[in-house]
């Protein structure tokens, strides 16, 4: 008696699981990464497997997070200064160099495994986003809660020390996947509620609802 062939859905499930586990060869992983960027349904399967297998990662000791909200709000809604743009451009230039270095250092012998960068969650965990990094890609996935109400959207920001916030994109039903270097310790992620389509002119206008600092407790 032979096993029945896998259905297309089952083949995609198996591929997503192998991709998250890091057991694909380089060519297969490149094809899977292309599908993650182009196929929302497959990207959702990958995000689901990342959530299922999160327990395999090393545990993180629970500790109360420091109250960084006043400092983050001050960064997101600063008083106009002449140096703000310079700080932003300096961060973008550094991020570009880091992105090139990250692309050049992708391991050939061993495919990269997803690494947890940060988790943004409310105190009761009713709303949470996970930030993971694999290869040269960063993925932000909603792991608890629901998206913003109609007419609004959650927007993700990254704040480098002594620099203006940079929008990384809008958080909706699908995972947000972008080509981006791993942010170093001390950088802060924040999520605000913005009008549909995102913050006007790239400047945050809504309340800060989630924050997390890379490398923080």
- 208 in the same domain as 116: yes
- 152 in the same domain as 48: no
User: Domain containing 131: what range?
Assistant: 69-213
- 103 in the same domain as 48: no
**Nearest CA to 118 among 185, 28, 23?**
185
- pLDDT confidence of residue 129: 92
- pLDDT confidence of residue 107: 43
Q: Are 177 and 138 in contact (CB under 8 A)?
A: yes
In angstroms, the CA 99 to CA 97 distance is 5
- 190 in the same domain as 95: yes
> What is the token pair recorded at 142?
């909603």
Is there a domain that residue 157 lies in? yes
Is there a domain that residue 62 lies in? no
- 77 in the same domain as 49: no
- The residue-averaged pLDDT of 111-130 equals 85
In angstroms, the CA 164 to CA 9 distance is 43
Percent of the chain with pLDDT over 90: 17
- 181 in the same domain as 92: yes
Whether 205 shows a pLDDT value over 70: the answer reads yes
Instruction: Give the pLDDT confidence of 208-217 residue by residue, as tens digits.
Output: 999 988 887 5
- pLDDT confidence of residue 103: 56
- 201 in the same domain as 136: yes
Instruction: Give the pLDDT confidence of 16-38 residue by residue, as tens digits.
Output: 888 888 888 878 888 888 888 88
Whether 149 shows a pLDDT value over 70: the answer reads yes
In angstroms, the CA 44 to CA 75 distance is 32
- pLDDT confidence of residue 13: 86
- pLDDT confidence of residue 63: 58
Q: What is the pTM of this model?
A: 0.53
- 131 in the same domain as 41: no
Helix (H) or strand (E) holding 147: none
Torsion angles phi and psi, residue 151, rounded to 5: 95, -10
- 186 in the same domain as 121: yes
- 198 in the same domain as 161: yes
- pLDDT confidence of residue 36: 85
- The residue-averaged pLDDT of 2-29 equals 82
Is there a domain that residue 183 lies in? yes
- pLDDT confidence of residue 154: 94
Q: What's the structural domain count of the chain?
A: 2
Is there a domain that residue 21 lies in? yes
**Nearest CA to 122 among 203, 193, 199, 178?**
193
């Amino acid at each position: 008696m032979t096993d029945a062939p896998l259905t297309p859905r089952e083949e995609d499930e198996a591929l997503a699981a192998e991709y998250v586990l890091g057991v694909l060869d380089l060519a297969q992983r490149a094809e899977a990464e292309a599908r993650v960027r182009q196929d929302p349904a497959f990207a959702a399967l990958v995000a689901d497997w990342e959530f299922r297998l999160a327990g395999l990662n090393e545990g993180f000791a629970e500790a109360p997070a420091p109250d960084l909200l006043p400092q983050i709000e001050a960064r997101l809604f600063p008083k106009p200064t002449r140096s703000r743009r310079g700080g932003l451009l300096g961060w973008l230039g550094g991020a570009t160099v880091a992105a090139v270095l990250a692309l050049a250092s992708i391991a050939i012998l061993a495919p990269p495994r997803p690494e947890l960068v940060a988790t943004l969650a409310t105190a009761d965990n009713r709303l949470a986003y996970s930030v993971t990094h694999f290869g040269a890609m960063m993925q932000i996935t909603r792991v608890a809660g629901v998206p913003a109400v109609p007419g609004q959207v959650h927007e993700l920001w990254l704040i480098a020390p002594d620099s203006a916030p940079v929008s990384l994109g809008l958080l909706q039903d699908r995972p947000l996947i972008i080509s981006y270097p791993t942010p170093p310790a001390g950088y802060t992620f924040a999520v605000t509620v913005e009008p549909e389509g995102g913050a006007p002119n790239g400047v945050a206008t809504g309340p800060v609802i989630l924050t997390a600092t890379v490398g923080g407790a």
